[in-house]
Copies of this chain bind each other. A is one copy, B any other.
C-alpha cells in the first residue's frame, strides 16, 4: 500500500496522465484534415512529413521513459529508434533528415498503432510508478516537446499543401475582418531590467540564467506590421533595393528571386496567398506573415526604424501584457490564421534583432536532453510571443524560439521599435 507521499505522487501522476492524453490526442487531431498521401511528403529539408512528427514524438516517450524506466518494456519495433530519432547523437544513429520523405513505411496506420502502444504503456507506467522529480521533468519535456512538434506540424502541413498547385483546403476559414487595430508606440524608460525565467513552472534551459540587462529608453509598437504596410514596402521597390538588406539577405533575395513573402501569388493584378483555408486574397489589415528575418529587417530599415531586441520585447511584454490575455490567438482558438489582434502573445512569432546566443550562466541539461537547445545557438535569430499554431499553455513571456534568418515557412511576423 502506497504511503501518503506516494498517494500524492499518484494524484500528480493522474494529472500528468490527463495532460498526456489531451496533448497526445491533439497531435492526431491536427492531422484529421489530411489525406493519407499528405503524411509522408517532405517538399523541402526544413519540413518533416506529418507521419514522422507523429512517430518522433512517440519515440521520445519510448526512448527517454519506457526503455530506461519501465521494467520489461518491449520496444514496439526495433527499427523505429533509428527511423524516428531526430538529432540526438547521444541516442545513436538516425535516418538522414533530408530523406524522411522517402520513408513510405511504416504506414500511417502503423504509426498510429505505435502511438497507441506507447500510450498504453505510458499509462501503465504512470499508474504503476510514481515519478520522481527527475522523471517528472523528463516527462514534462516530453509533453512540451510534443507541443512544439504540433506547431511544426502545422507549419509543415501548410507547406506541403501550399506548395501543391491544387491548393487544398485544410479547414474552412472565416474571412470576416475586424475593425482596424490602432497602433501606437509603447514607451519604456531606460534602466536595468531582469531577463530570464524565474519560478518553478516549466521552461526550457535556454530561458534560464536569470540576469540583468541595461536597456536605453525605447519605444515599441503596440501591434505588428500589417499586410498593407508591407505591400507599401514591396510597391516602393523594397525587393529591388539592396540598401535595405543585409548582405546575406540580399544574396538570398537574388538567388531565390524573392519578390514577396512565402505563399504570396500575384494574379490578375491582385495579391493572393495560400492560407490553411485555401487560396485567398490578401487582407490589408491582417498582420504580415511568412516573412524571413531578412525581410523583417529590410522593412524596418526602409521605415527608418528597427526590430526590438529580445530583451526589449520581453520587458515590454511583461509590462503591458503580464499574463497571456484570453483574446490571444493560439491554436486552441482554431482560427488557423493570424487575426487583427493587438498584443504580444499569439498570432505570429515575432522576429527580434537578437542573435540566438546563450544567456549568462546558461548551462545545458545533462545527457541527451542537453542537445535540445544549446547546440543550436549559432546563426539563428530569436523570435518571441507564440503563434496561432502554438498551444496556449505552452507559451510564456520568456520563451525563446529561434530560426535561421532566411526561413519563411514558420508562422512569423514582426513589430517595430525605435530609440527615443
Interface positions of A (Cβ within 8 A of B): 35-43, 51, 79, 82-83, 87, 89-90, 95, 99, 101-108, 160-161, 163-166, 168, 192, 211-214, 216, 242-243, 245-250, 353-355, 357-358, 360-361, 370, 375-379, 405, 419
- Whether B242 pairs with A214 at a CB distance below 8 angstroms is no
Residue in chain B with minimal CB distance to A190: B212
Residues of chain B with a CB closer than 8 A to A213's CB: 213-214
B355 close to A164 (CB less than 8 A): no
Q: How far is the CA of A375 from the CA of B95 in the complex (A)?
A: 37
A375, B246: Cβ atoms closer than 8 Å:
yes
Collect the chain B residues with CB atoms within 8 Å of residue A105's CB.
Answer: 35, 37-38, 161, 164, 166, 168
Q: How many copies does the complex hold?
A: 4
Q: How far, in Å, is A25 (CB) from chain B's closest CB?
A: 23
Q: Which 10 pairs between the two chains have the least Cβ-Cβ distance?
A: A355-B355, A43-B102, A247-B375, A36-B36, A37-B104, A214-B214, A38-B104, A212-B214, A89-B242, A246-B378
Interface centre among A36, A41, A246, A378 (most CB of B within 10 A): A378
CA distance A40 to B35 in the complex (A): 12
Chain B residues with Cβ below 8 Å from A95 are: 165
In the complex, what residues of B have CB within 8 A of residue A43's CB?
99, 102
For residue A192, which residue of chain B has the nearest CB? B214
Shortest CB-to-CB span from A404 to chain B, Å, is 9
Q: Are B41 and A104 in contact (CB under 8 A)?
A: yes
Contact at A37–B35, with CB atoms within 8 Å?
Answer: no
- Chain B residues with CB under 8 A of A51: 37
Say how far A161's CB is from chain B's closest CB, in angstroms: 8
* Bound-state Cα–Cα, A108 to B354, Å: 45
Provide the residues of chain B in CB contact with A102, threshold 8 Å. Answer: 41-43, 101, 160, 163-164
In angstroms, Cα B40 to Cα A375, docked, is 34
Q: Which residues from chain B contact A35 at a C-beta distance below 8 Å?
A: 104-105, 107
Residues of chain B within 8 A of A161, CB atoms compared: 104-105
- State in angstroms the CA–CA spacing of A251 and B35 once bound together: 35
The answer on a CB contact under 8 Å between B164 and A103 is: yes
A192: chain B residues within 8 A (beta carbon):
192, 214
A95 to B40, CA, bound (A): 19
Contacts of A243 in B (CB 8 A): 89-90, 370
Q: Which residues of B contact A41 (CB under 8 A)?
A: 40, 101-104
Which residues of the other chain, B, contact A405 by a CB distance below 8 angstroms?
Answer: 378-379
**What B residues does A379 contact at CB under 8 A?**
248, 379, 405
Please give the distance in Å from A46's CB to the nearest CB on chain B. 13
CA separation between A405 and B378, bound complex, in Å? 9
A79 to B166 CA separation, bound complex (whole angstroms): 7
Question: Which residues of B have CB within 8 Å of A248?
Answer: 378-379
Residues of chain B within 8 A (CB-CB) of A249 are: 378
**Can you list 15 A-B contacts (CB < 8 A)?**
A36-B107, A37-B40, A37-B105, A41-B103, A79-B165, A83-B165, A90-B243, A104-B164, A105-B168, A106-B166, A212-B216, A213-B213, A247-B376, A354-B357, A361-B419
